[in-house]
Amino acid sequence: MAQTSEGQTVSVPDAPGPSGLDGFFKITERGSTVRTEILAGLTTWLTMAYILFLNPTILGTISDNTGLKLAFPEVLTVTALAAGVMTIAMGVFGKYPFAIAAGLGLNAFVTFTLVAQLGLTWPQAMGVIVIEGVVISILVLTGLRQMIMDAIPMDLKLAIGIGIGLFLTIIGFVNGGIVVPGQGTVVTINPDLTTLRVLVFLVTLGLTAALVARNVRGSILIGIAFGTVVATVINVIWGHKVIWASLGGEVAQIPHSLTASPDFTLVGKFNFGVFSVLSFWTAIAAIVSVMLSDFFDTMGTAVGLGKEAGLLDQDGRLPGMKRVLLVDGVAAAVGGAVSASSNTTYIESGAGIGDGGRTGLTSVVVGVLFLAAMFFSPIAGIVPPEATAPALIIVGYLMMKSVGDIDWRDAAIGIPALLTITLMPFTYSITNGVAAGFVSYTLIKLLQGRWRDVHLLTYIVSVLFIGYFVRGLLA
């Protein structure tokens, strides 16, 4: 309302709100600008682009029982494809500056548990991921995901992430040539640490660790690039005297071209044959395990990032969380469908948030950069495992940081947490760690006479895992 010069009151239409890009993403409303969002997207991408090299490294570690081994360029293509499409979806539908890519730890589960331990083929393993993603999406839509989140003790959730971190660490030491099978011991240190292969690993680890300690953005990616340059220089000087386990042959070689057409061979290469290969209990345990690994990380990540961005409401909740969780659940299924492993929300999104990113436009920028990366797969051919192994160890450190948040004084939670954390690397199985944690927690509470402290859903999951263990013993 307003008054004229004669004192009459007239109605004045409200000023139009922001329109177009600004209005859709609420850029001004959240105190940001288009330029800030674009720069924040670039920062986030640089911080997490290492997954383009680590995911093919982990998924390409072994062959399945048919002899199929996932090729580096193929996995790089689908890694970039899934990350690009689903991060854009997070920006457009979720409306938050959260980026999505293949989850570290989840890809280790696919490789070392589903394929190496349980004997699934790669298509069958990816089918498990599709099932897991669909189940999570259904749980989000029905509201059960929040109920399950509330049912499981936070300490056990933390232990799962920590255990996966230790698992990645030992894989890093193995890939770097430091840890080898022992004689009289399960594992031991490599008796010959004077090789150039070990030298590349050590100098790369030292540089990457120093960069992380100095809080340099993109530390892991810089470390991978540095290690690759060192390995390439060594190969140019010494040639075939240095043997590398890389894509292009026995020696890491500079590609003839820096660009190539994306290889979509792996897209759609999944099936649901898990139940025809494994027993019912083992198949269910495998699906539940990967679901739990994916399940809890996203909730904590989204809330943590929302808090960093100042986007939580007065009750400490993220408005529109259901949209974020739904995109994340669909991303898991999409990752399996294109053979990139389960995709999930990345904590590295905090780098872009730290640079001012507040809206989904940041995510759109990240997604576009991932899609562009599909055309540069030849670069991956020169990256040896000695350059990516240190990154696995650094990621292990990052996942270990929450170990102090577990209440170790309470044996009822400390012992299950210990079993969860240690059995993953010691048995080379994420499933074993998660299962042992749940079963031991439930049994200890029952023997304490505190059965009411255990949620019904936790009992159900524990029964499933007991069936998994018993079936394994009787097989």
pLDDT at 343 exceeding the cut of 60: yes
pLDDT at residue 244, rounded to an integer: 43
- Please give the residue that has the higher pLDDT: either 43 or 26: 26
Domain boundaries in the chain? Answer: 26-474
Q: Which one has a higher pLDDT value, 246 or 229?
A: 229
Q: How many Cβ atoms are within 10 Å of 341's Cβ, its own excluded? A: 32
**Chain-wide mean pLDDT for the chain?**
83
Instruction: Report the share of the chain in percent with pLDDT over 70.
Output: 86
Structure confidence at residue 444 (pLDDT): 96
Q: Is the pLDDT of residue 166 over 80?
A: yes
In this model, does residue 19 exceed pLDDT 90?
no
Contact 107, 114 (CB under 8 A): no
**C-alpha to C-alpha distance for 213 and 77, rounded to whole angstroms:** 31
| Overall average pLDDT of the 193-210 stretch | 88
Return the pLDDT at 7.
53
Categorize the per-residue pLDDT at 393 as very low, low, confident or very high, splitting at 50, 70 and 90. Answer: confident
The pLDDT confidence band at residue 53, using thresholds 50, 70 and 90, is confident
The pLDDT value recorded for residue 20 is 80
Contacts of 149 by beta carbon, 8 Å cutoff, 6+ apart: 295, 296, 299
On whether the CB atoms of residues 44 and 366 are closer than 8 A, the answer is yes
Average pLDDT estimate for 37-43: 86
Residue with more model confidence, 381 or 60: 60
Q: Which of 6-15, 121-130, 255-264, 307-316 has the lowest mean pLDDT?
A: 6-15
CB of 366 within 8 A of CB of 45?
yes
Report the pLDDT value the prediction gives residue 461, as an integer from 0 to 100: 81
pLDDT at 401: 83
Per-residue pLDDT for 475 more than 60? Answer: no
Q: Is the pLDDT of residue 89 over 50?
A: yes
Q: What angle do CA 382, 384, 388 make, to 5 degrees?
A: 120
pLDDT band with cut points at 50, 70 and 90 for residue 366: very high
Mean pLDDT is lowest, of 53-57, 199-203, 215-219, 256-260, for 256-260
pLDDT band at 54 (very low <50, low <70, confident <90, very high): confident
What is the average pLDDT across 96-104? 92
Instruction: Please write the tens of the pLDDT for every residue from 246-282.
Output: 333 334 556 666 777 888 999 999 999 999 998 888 8
String of DSSP letters for 366-426: HHHHHHHHGGGGGGGGG--HHHHHHHHHHHHHHHHGGGGGS-TT-HHHHHHHHHHHHHHHH
Query: Who contacts 416 (Cβ-Cβ below 8 Å, separation ≥6)?
Result: 156, 159, 436, 437, 438, 440, 441, 444
pLDDT attached to residue 252: 52
Give the model's confidence band at 336: pLDDT under 50 very low, under 70 low, under 90 confident, else very high.
very high
Q: How confident is the model at residue 469 (pLDDT cuts 50, 70, 90)?
A: confident
**One-letter amino acid for residue 261 of the chain:** S
Taking the CA atoms of residue 83, residue 88, residue 93 and residue 97 in that order, the dihedral angle to the nearest 10 degrees is: 90
Closest CA to 471 of 293, 273, 278, 290: 278
- What is the reported pLDDT for 77? 94
Q: Could you give the CA distance from residue 290 to residue 336 in angstroms, rounded to a whole number?
A: 12
